[in-house]
């Protein structure tokens, strides 16, 4: 399997979208373009509205990613777990595609003898530590998120530390939604570290609608602009690991 870059959108929200297109449809579009969409729902004190929970699960399922609904105090551990599990899930899916190409359509990782399966999983684990990773973090800053934003900041700083302990290259970008003049607004461009969150978060104003679908569309477009720029400047030799690349 050739090396490349895993691409993820990490959506952090506390409820249901209420403006714009269906976010699950946007997540499906992301998946078609080789971008995994993970979703974390944050609980306050009570239970999340059932519609919100169903939407979170639908977005992650359509985006080929993971979803979790947790209380704020569990956020840091959950963000790291979901990001890493989604990496492993993507890599296992790519391994299965390779196996089917080699051995036929009915063969998957689970069909291999235990010793061979163990060898393949060692490769998957190694790739999880060495493959490059781009994570676009998409944060809901609607009114109900106001008290949760400090916890989100700390969880994302912990995520940066955790992923930078890997050998592979990491790049993060941070968007919030709704933006001041658009459905989503870029706060941090691609960077290996996101310590500047500490200065940005205290200035964030929460409020407005929850345009989750349009925000996901903006995130997908931003990935594609980055990809086009890399090709234009002659850095297009590095392949992206995505479903359409095998």
Look at residue 163 and tell me if it is in a domain.
yes
pTM greater than 0.75 (yes/no): yes
Tokens of 150: 């400090």
pLDDT for residue 52: 81
CATH code, 220:
3.40.50.410
Residues facing residue 174 across a β-bridge: 137, 188
Owning domain of residue 156: 5-233
Q: How far apart are CA 22 and CA 59, in angstroms?
A: 9
**What is the CB neighbour count within 10 angstroms for residue 168?**
17
Per the rule left: phi > 0, alpha: psi between -120 and 50, beta: everything else, 234 is left
Q: Is the pLDDT of residue 100 over 80?
A: no
64-71, strands of its sheet edge to edge: 64-71, 35-43, 5-13, 132-140, 170-177, 185-191
**pLDDT band, very low/low/confident/very high, at 106 (cuts 50, 70, 90):** low
pLDDT for residue 40: 94
**195 Cβ contact partners less than 8 Å away, ≥ 6 residues apart:** 157, 160
Q: Residues 191-200: pLDDT tens digits? A: 888 887 877 8
Look at residue 83 and tell me if it is in a domain.
yes
Number of domains within the chain: 1
**127 Cβ contact partners less than 8 Å away, ≥ 6 residues apart:** 1, 3, 91
pLDDT for residue 8: 93
Look at residue 63 and tell me if it is in a domain.
yes
Q: Is the pLDDT of residue 123 over 90?
A: no
Look at residue 223 and tell me if it is in a domain.
yes
Give the three-state DSSP class for 6: strand
Burial class (CB in 10 A: 0-12, 13-18, 19+), 41: buried
Q: How far apart are CA 131 and CA 24, in angstroms?
A: 27
Look at residue 241 and tell me if it is in a domain.
no
Look at residue 239 and tell me if it is in a domain.
no
Look at residue 29 and tell me if it is in a domain.
yes
pLDDT for residue 99: 67
Residues of the chain with pLDDT > 90, as a percent, come to 32
**What average pLDDT does range 158-171 have in this prediction?**
88
Q: How many residues does the chain have?
A: 246
**What average pLDDT does range 218-229 have in this prediction?**
80
**pLDDT band, very low/low/confident/very high, at 237 (cuts 50, 70, 90):** very low
Q: Residues 60-99: pLDDT tens digits? A: 999 999 999 888 888 989 998 998 888 888 887 777 776 6
Look at residue 245 and tell me if it is in a domain.
no
Q: How far apart are CA 134 and CA 23, in angstroms?
A: 21
């Amino acid at each position: 399997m050739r090396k490349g870059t895993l691409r993820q959108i990490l959506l952090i929200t506390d409820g249901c979208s209420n403006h714009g297109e269906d976010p699950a449809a946007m997540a499906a579009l992301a998946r078609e373009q080789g971008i995994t969409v993970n979703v974390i729902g944050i609980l306050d004190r009570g239970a999340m509205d059932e519609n919100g929970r169903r939407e979170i699960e639908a977005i992650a399922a359509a985006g080929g990613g993971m979803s979790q609904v947790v209380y704020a105090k569990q956020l840091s551990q959950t963000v790291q777990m979901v990001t890493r599990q989604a990496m492993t899930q993507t890599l296992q899916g790519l391994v299965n595609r390779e196996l089917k190409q080699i051995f036929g359509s009915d063969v998957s990782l689970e069909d291999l003898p235990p010793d061979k399966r163990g060898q393949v999983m060692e490769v998957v684990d190694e790739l999880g530590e060495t493959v490059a990773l781009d994570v676009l973090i998409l944060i809901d800053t609607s009114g109900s998120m106001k008290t949760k934003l400090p916890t989100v900041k700390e969880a994302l700083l912990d995520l940066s530390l955790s992923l930078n302990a890997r050998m592979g290259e990491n790049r993060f970008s941070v968007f919030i939604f709704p933006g001041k003049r658009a459905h989503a607004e870029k706060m941090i461009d691609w960077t290996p570290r996101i310590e500047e969150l500490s200065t940005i978060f205290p200035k964030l104003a929460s409020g407005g609608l929850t345009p989750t679908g349009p925000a996901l569309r903006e995130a997908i477009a931003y990935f594609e602009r980055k990809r086009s720029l890399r090709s234009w400047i002659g850095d297009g030799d590095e392949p992206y690991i995505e479903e359409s690349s095998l």
